[in-house]
Amino acid sequence: MNHRVPSARRKAAGRRIAAGTVVAVGLAALASGAHAGNNVAVVPTPPTTDTSDALRAHDPLERLNRGSFKLGMGVDKALLAPVAHGYMAVAPKPLRERVGNVVYNLGEPNTVMNEVLQGKPKMAMRTTTRFIVNSTVGVLGLFDVASHMHLPPHDADFGQTLGKWGAGPGAYLYVPLMGPLNARDAAGRIVDVVTDPVSLLVGGFSTDFGKARTGVTIVDLRARTDPAFEALKDAADPYVTTRSAYTQYRDAVVREATGKAEELPDFDSPPTDYSKSPAATTP
């Protein structure tokens, strides 16, 4: 059987990456339904080029957020990028794919919890089945066997759950060590982290397993999002590009939860430079 990750799996992984920047990979990345563990760091291509008022970020703290963004990118350049590049140099792609599969699999229980909260029992059952199959037949998640059994991946996080039930996004935030957020998703991240089933089962993030999971997640996700970071360097205003991509992505995530969008777009491509659009500037 060919255990390479299928296209649908790669696309879903790209969607999970979209929820924060790589400096957020640590705790926030481990639990958020973006599969917290895969919920990091990138500025994905937004689901639409719509820059209408409805999708503009409310950014009253832009000056502070820009400072935080600069700090986060500095940490990435000095620490995270070199480590990720070293990992990519010594670990062949098939091995990196297996690591990414394990990281994703550990986030499945959190997704199940949010699917239940969103009133999607059938989807929660499917995700539960995926987790069981990949944790057993797939050898602790190393191989995504479930996708070959017509059980495609799906993501859900508590920020999305809040949006599903009517909570608005609130102000845009760029928080050091958490990345791009809005007020709703910041609350969602906290809930996802403290209620992550796998973390609770093994005793929290301070255990040896928790520390190892955090470290592996950081390196894996930074390596997989490296093309987007490279593309971001060419943006006229990386901050605006990040903000626009994040705002549009999260809008699509909530629309998917409410049934207004059948499927999230593919975010495998490098980020679009929305800083060159006049509408990208916050009014």
Query: What is the DSSP code string of 88-133?
Result: HHHS-HHHHHHHHHHHHHHTHHHHHHHHHHTT-HHHHHHHHHHHHH
What b-and-e string marks burial along 152-185, b requiring 16 or more CB atoms within 10 Å of the CB? bbbbbbbbbbbbbeebebeebbbbebbbbbbbbb
Question: Residue 145 corresponds to which tokens in the numbers above?
Answer: 């066997």
Q: What is the pLDDT of residues 225-243, one digit of tens each?
A: 899 888 888 899 999 999 9
Question: Residue 159 corresponds to which tokens in the numbers above?
Answer: 């920020």
* pLDDT value for 66: 98
Q: What is the pLDDT of residues 41-68, one digit of tens each?
A: 333 444 444 445 456 789 999 999 999 9
* pLDDT value for 54: 53
* pLDDT value for 278: 46
Tokens 């986030």 found at: 107
Ranges of each domain in the chain: 15-277
Least confident of 78-92, 132-146, 156-170, 248-262: 248-262
Alpha helices in 118-224 (DSSP H): 121-136, 145-148, 158-164, 183-194, 197-202, 208-224
Q: Which residues on adjacent β-strands are paired with residue 174?
A: 180
H helix or E strand, kind and range, residue 181:
strand 179-182
Q: What is the pLDDT of residues 137-193, one digit of tens each?
A: 999 999 999 999 999 999 999 999 999 999 999 999 998 778 899 999 999 999 999
* pLDDT value for 260: 80
What's the mean pLDDT in 90-119? 96
46 secondary structure, DSSP code? P
**What 3-state DSSP class applies to 61?**
coil
Q: Note the Cα 142 to chain centre separation in Å.
A: 19
93 has a pLDDT exceeding 80: yes
Residue 202: HSE in the Cβ half-sphere, 13 Å Cα cutoff: 14
- pLDDT tier at 31, thresholds 50, 70, 90: very low
Tokens 């239940």 found at: 116
* pLDDT value for 78: 95
211 burial via Cβ count (<10 Å: 0-12, 13-18, 19+): exposed
Q: How far is CA 30 from CA 27, 168, 227, 271, in A?
A: 5, 24, 21, 23
2 has a pLDDT exceeding 70: no
- pLDDT tier at 276, thresholds 50, 70, 90: low
- 16 against 125, higher pLDDT: 125
CB atoms within 10 A of CB 283: 7
- Phi first, then psi, for residue 17 (nearest 5°) are -60, -25
220 has a pLDDT exceeding 80: yes
- pLDDT tier at 281, thresholds 50, 70, 90: very low
**What 3-state DSSP class applies to 173?**
strand
- Mean pLDDT computed over every residue of the chain: 80
